[in-house]
Structure formats: structure tokens, C-alpha cells
Amino acid sequence: MGPKIAHRPIGTAIHIAKSGRLIIKAKGDIRGGELIFDERGKKVGKVLEVFGPTRSPYLSVIPADEDSKRVIGRLVYR
């Protein structure tokens, strides 16, 4: 059986902060604690914090591994 494919886009990964967290520009309602995946369904990380304006929030994500920077500039999913 192949990997589970994530299918609900939540935003675009924009950069890695100095803290090492992945910052995502969100496109919808999401809560802390949710898992984030790439287009293949591989886990990217876990949402630690939602911040910024409520209509256009950002997510601070604890990366699952050192390879999480591979998603910068791409859509990520839940």
C-alpha cells in the first residue's frame, strides 16, 4: 500500500525562521497541533502557532526533519 496522499491545501511554505521553524502563509482556518504534509503525503511538521491577521494568518511549524526546507515555495497540505 502506498503513502497516504494529503489533499487539503492549507497554504504556501515561505521560509525557515531563525528559530528553525517553517513559516507558512495560510489560506484557511487551521489550528495549532495539526500535522502538515507535502504533495506526496510525507509529513513536513506540526503547527505550533497561528499568528498574524485572522483573514490572512501565518503558521509556525516545527519541522519533522532537516529536509523540511524542500517545501519552501510550494503548497503544503493537511
Count of CA atoms in the C-beta half-sphere (13 A) of 65: 6
Tens-place pLDDT, residues 21-63: 999 999 878 889 999 999 999 999 999 999 999 888 999 999 9
**Which residue type is seen at 13?**
A
Q: Is 16 helix (H, G, I), strand (E, B) or coil?
A: strand
pTM to 2 decimal places: 0.87
Q: Which helix (H) or strand (E) holds 9?
A: strand 9-16
| Domain spanning 9-77, CATH architecture | Beta Barrel (2.40)
Angle at 66 between CA 69 and CA 30, to 5 degrees: 60
List the domain boundaries for the chain: 9-77
